[in-house]
Amino acid sequence: AQALQVQTVQSPRLHFRVPESSPSDTYRGEFGQVRGFLLQCDLTFGTYPETYNSDQIKISYIVGLLRGRALQWAEARSRDPDFLKGTLHNFLTEFRNTFDQTETPAEISKTLWNMKQGKQTVLDFAIDFRTLAATSKMDPDSLKGAFTQALNNNLQDQLAFCPEPETLEDLISLAARIEKRQRSRPRPVQPCYPLALQNPFAQSASPPRTINVSVPQDEPMQDCFPTKALVDSGCERNLLDQTIVDRLNIPTTPLTTPIRASSLDGNSLTTITHQTAPVKLLISGNHHESITFFVFPSPQTPVVLGHDWLVTHNPHIDWKTNQISSWSPYCLSHCLLSANLSVLVPDSSTPDLSLVPSEYHDLQAVFCKDRASSLPPHRPYDCCVDLLQGATLPSSRLYSLSKPERECMATYISESLAAGIIRPSTSPLGAGYFFVAKKDSSLRPCIDYRGLNQITIKNKYPLPLLSSTFDPVQKATIFTKLDLRNAYHLVRIRE
């Protein structure tokens, strides 16, 4: 008999890696969160390829994490027997079409430019900004501009006096440090009472309103203290809080006769014993004055411009917007001064009159190039630009500039800043800026004011007939031609 040899062959063992980490977060169908959810799922599939080795397993894993209306969508689609048995690509395509809002690069850029910091801290806002910026195609300089204009105004004012950061990260870091410094300052806790010094106007005064008092940005920050003022017609004097007096080391002098300050019901608040030395006050960017304040404890309303100030300057105030709309003739001739002369050319230079006829030498001031390169002072006949009521104010747009145009723009900005023709601004309103080639191949800067012209009230008046204009000069043989230098900036706009 032959021996029968039996050999036992064992089947190979299959090894599966069981996921040790927690599963992906569930998804309830929120718009804007589908990409993060799918990213978590994709990372899980890549970490455990032996476990999730087929499209059906991956689809089952994703469906198992759905909740709410997302699960309702999957339940409705599962009635199609081929839906859950198809490819992962087809499943994700339909899933994204249902729950993912895909934005175009233009829409993302528009959203970035419309973002505002609001009540968020810089670091919290930077997270939202970075997240959206990562999906955009904006260049680094545009991202810096969008982030800067989204910050609160007080941060933009501080950044205007700092060297421009090279990168977006440097800009965020600088803004966060400035905000941290601002938040670390002690906040006043003393209550502020309605104030009226004893005067005949106190009983009939209207409720006080607040207007903004701003410092122009072409002044050095260390010499200026930006704050707000309360305009109170029921307050006889101009008041300044003791905290600001101490902080700025403003000299004070004692009053010969102390003044008793009382509330509207006649109760005594305090006694004013000191007044400040003359202080330079700048309002609305170009209103200069030297003013003396009475020292009064009012930390929440540090500056009060009272009845004396209103009588002196007689401003026209728009109480709906809490802004000064115009100034009195006194201010036009005394307070609203022109910008500083250009520092590029000495003011003492004598104009060249070699080509000017001797009959005009007594008018040598009008031939001075220095004076033509700076803004004239405000006068009662300043040009007024009236806008249509309720019209939407225009915003600026960006023009693509070549390298020569960018260099020309940098030169134009630096010279205009030095001449006082322009100044830094963080206003959301503006006009486009571009260049047009001249006959001599140089570039002429142009500002697109079409948006402003569309909402301007047009002044209509009859023009003289050409025939009537030429009649008086029919027999004339000699004519004088005047070429105005920098004429565009010699017409001053009313504040």
Instruction: Render pLDDT for 443-490 as a digit per residue (tens, 0 to 9).
Output: 888 888 888 888 898 877 788 888 888 888 888 888 888 777 777 777
Q: Identify the CATH class of 374-422+429-473.
A: alpha beta
Q: CA-to-CA distance for 270 and 259, rounded, in angstroms? A: 9
CA distances from 237 to 250, 293, 317, 350, 427 (A): 18, 8, 19, 46, 33
Smallest CA-to-CA distance from 200 within 167, 151, 159, 233 is with 233
Intrachain domains 105-183 and 374-422+429-473 with the same fold: no
Residue 2 has pLDDT above 70, yes or no: no
Query: Among 23-27, 80-84, 129-133, where is mean pLDDT lowest?
Result: 23-27
Structure tokens at 27: 């998804």
What Rg, from alpha-carbon coordinates, does the chain have?
Answer: 35
Q: Which pLDDT score, from 0 to 100, does residue 294 have?
A: 92
In this predicted model, which residue has the larger pLDDT, 292 or 481? 292
Q: CA-to-CA distance for 280 and 288, rounded, in angstroms? A: 7
Structure tokens at 24: 């992906």
Choose the CATH number for 210-335 among 3.30.70.100, 1.20.1290.10, 3.30.70.260, 2.40.70.10.
2.40.70.10
pLDDT in tens, 377-412: 777 778 888 888 888 888 777 777 888 888 888 888
Cβ-based neighbours of 208, under 8 Å, separated by 6 or more: 194, 230, 231, 232, 233, 234, 235
Confidence of residue 102 (pLDDT cuts 50, 70, 90): low
Q: CA-to-CA distance for 61 and 215, rounded, in angstroms? A: 61
pLDDT in tens, 40-77: 888 888 888 888 888 888 888 888 888 888 888 888 88
Q: CA-to-CA distance for 46 and 39, rounded, in angstroms? A: 11
pLDDT in tens, 251-264: 999 988 888 888 77
Smallest CA-to-CA distance from 17 within 53, 66, 56, 41 is with 53
Structure tokens at 80: 């199609």
Return the domain boundaries, the chain.
33-99, 105-183, 210-335, 374-422+429-473
Question: What is the residue-averaged pLDDT of the chain?
Answer: 77
Give, as one character, the DSSP assignment of residue 424. Answer: -
Q: Identify the CATH class of 105-183.
A: mainly alpha
Cβ-based neighbours of 18, under 8 Å, separated by 6 or more: 51
Given a contact cutoff of 8 angstroms between Cβ atoms, the answer to whether 294 and 236 are in contact is no
The per-residue DSSP string of 329-387 comes to HHHHHHTBPPPPPPSSS-TTPPP--TTS-GGGGGGGGGG-HHHHTSPPPP-TT-B---B
What percent of the chain is modeled with pLDDT above 90? 3
pLDDT in tens, 243-252: 888 888 889 9
The per-residue DSSP string of 207-221 comes to PPEEEEE---TTS-G
Confidence of residue 187 (pLDDT cuts 50, 70, 90): low
Q: Which pLDDT score, from 0 to 100, does residue 344 have?
A: 40
Question: In the chain, what is the straight-line distance between the N-terminal and C-terminal CA atoms, in Å?
Answer: 124
Confidence of residue 10 (pLDDT cuts 50, 70, 90): low
Given a contact cutoff of 8 angstroms between Cβ atoms, the answer to whether 316 and 325 are in contact is yes
Only one residue has tokens 């992962």, namely 88
Q: Which pLDDT score, from 0 to 100, does residue 451 have?
A: 86
Cβ-based neighbours of 330, under 8 Å, separated by 6 or more: 312, 313, 314
